[in-house]
A = this chain, B = another copy of it.
Amino acid sequence: MQAFSIGVDLGGTNLRAAAVTPGGERLESVSQPTRLQAGPQAVLDDIAGAAQTLLEGRANGKLLGIGVGSPGPLELPAGILHHPPNLPGFDGLHLREELERRLGRAVSVDSDANLAAYGECLLGAGRTFDSNSLCMLTLGTGVGSGIVLEGRIWHGMQGAAGESGHGPLDPNGPVCPCGAKGCLEMYASATAIVRRAGQLGLGPGADGGNGSAAPLTASGVAHLASSGDKRALQVFDEVGRALGLSLANLINALDLPLYVVGGGAAAAWPLFAPRMFATVREMSYVYRLSMPDDPAVFQPGRTHIAPAQLSDAGLLGAALLPVHAHDPVA
In contact, A254 and B161 (Cβ under 8 angstroms): yes
Q: Does A275 make an interface contact (CB < 8 A)?
A: no
Further pairs besides A164-B252, A170-B170: 14, Cβ < 8 Å: A147-B253, A157-B257, A160-B289, A161-B255, A163-B252, A163-B253, A163-B255, A163-B285, A166-B284, A168-B248, A169-B171, A179-B282, A180-B248, A180-B283
Chain A contact residues, CB within 8 Å of chain B: 73, 133, 145, 147, 149, 154-164, 166-171, 178-181, 241, 245, 248-250, 252-257, 279, 282-286, 288-290, 301, 303, 329
Are A253 and B286 interface neighbours, CB within 8 A? no
Q: How far is the CB of A286 from chain B (nearest CB, A)?
A: 4
With both beta carbons as reference points, the residue of chain B lying nearest to A75 in the complex is identified as B289
Nearest Cβ distance between residue A245 and chain B, in whole angstroms? 6
A66 CA to B61 CA in the complex, in Å? 54
A171/B168 in contact, CB under 8 A: no
Name the residue of chain B whose CB is nearest to the CB of A157.
Answer: B257
Bound-state CA distance A170–B181 (Å) is 13
Cβ-defined contact, A168 with B245, below 8 A: yes
Residues of B within 8 A of A168 (CB): 245, 248-249, 283
Shortest beta-carbon distance from A248 to chain B in Å: 6
Nearest CB of chain B from residue A329's CB, rounded to whole Å: 6
CA distance A329 to B252 in the complex (A): 24
When distances are taken between beta carbons in the complex, the residues of chain B under 8 Å from A254 are 147, 154, 156, 161, 253
Shortest CB distance A191–B (Å): 17
Most buried by B among A147, A158, A160: A160
- Which of B158, B282, B283 sits near A289, CB closer than 8 Å? B158
Cα–Cα distance between A257 and B256 once the two chains are bound (Å): 21
- Pick the contact of A149 from B73, B149, B170, B248 — CB < 8 Å? B149
* Centre residue among A245, A256, A303 by max chain B CB count within 10 A: A245
Contacts of A163 in B (CB 8 A): 252-253, 255, 285-286
| Nearest 8 Cβ contacts at the A-B interface | A156-B255, A161-B255, A167-B249, A178-B285, A163-B252, A180-B283, A160-B255, A160-B286
